[in-house]
Amino acid sequence: MDPFRFQWEVGGVFIVTGEGLRNKEGDYITARYDGLSTDAFGHPLLGDVPITLKHLIEENLHLRTRWIKPDICQQAAVHMASRVDLEEARMCGESAAQLAMQEGESGYMVTIERLEDGGKGSNYASRCGKVTLSAVANVDRYVPRNFIDTEGFFPSEEFLRYAKPLIQGEVPIRLKDGFPYYPSLTLKHVRHPE
């Protein structure tokens, strides 16, 4: 492949991938299994996919590359959260506190159960449930195949219908002197009722 001809004809390419990218043998392309690079279950801590792809493209195709890894900035971007996401996060926190304090239950994970799905997000509703940790800890759950288009590259219409209600509504950001304002919380110790 002539890299100059490729850049002239195509101009540029964006590659978007998750950190769990695998090679054709099914191995993670960035996995290491040393003591520092594995979690408590022995799973590899994944990451650095963009750097690995950069090296592969430059070495094999001789094309100039740049990479962007949103990482923590994306995960902590409350200004991009949806109202539904914020409401369900609060609902999960309240449910977990109720399980722990009022019912005295332990060893569970709070779940979100979808009650309705109007397709356009107008009829979406959810509630919290619970599942034992042993049913979900150290268990992989893959994206359903019908959520990926037939070519295997893009989200399907079914996924878009599933996801659209989850991104509805905006979260107002409180500002103070031009900066986001986050109230301070007071730590209070509580005792479980005997």
Question: What's the pLDDT score for residue 4?
Answer: 59
User: Is pLDDT of 188 > 70?
Assistant: yes
185 phi and psi angles, rounded to 5 deg: -110, 145
Residue 11 to residue 63: CA distance in whole angstroms:
11
Question: What's the pLDDT score for residue 84?
Answer: 93
Question: Tens digit of pLDDT for each residue in 101-146?
Answer: 877 778 899 999 998 654 444 688 999 999 999 899 888 888 899 9
Q: For the whole model, what pTM was predicted? A: 0.69
Mean pLDDT of 3-32: 77
Question: What's the pLDDT score for residue 160?
Answer: 94
Element (H, E) at 176: strand 175-176
Instruction: Please give the full DSSP string across 94-142, using - where no structure is assigned.
Output: HHHHHHHHTS---SEEEEEEEEE--SSSTT-EEEEEEEEHHHHTT---P
| Residue % of the chain over a pLDDT of 70 | 86
Question: What's the pLDDT score for residue 5?
Answer: 66
Mean pLDDT of 145-157: 92
Closest CA to 87 of 175, 162, 168, 159: 168
Helices (H), the chain: 3-10, 49-61, 71-75, 83-101, 133-136, 157-163
User: Is pLDDT of 99 > 80?
Assistant: yes
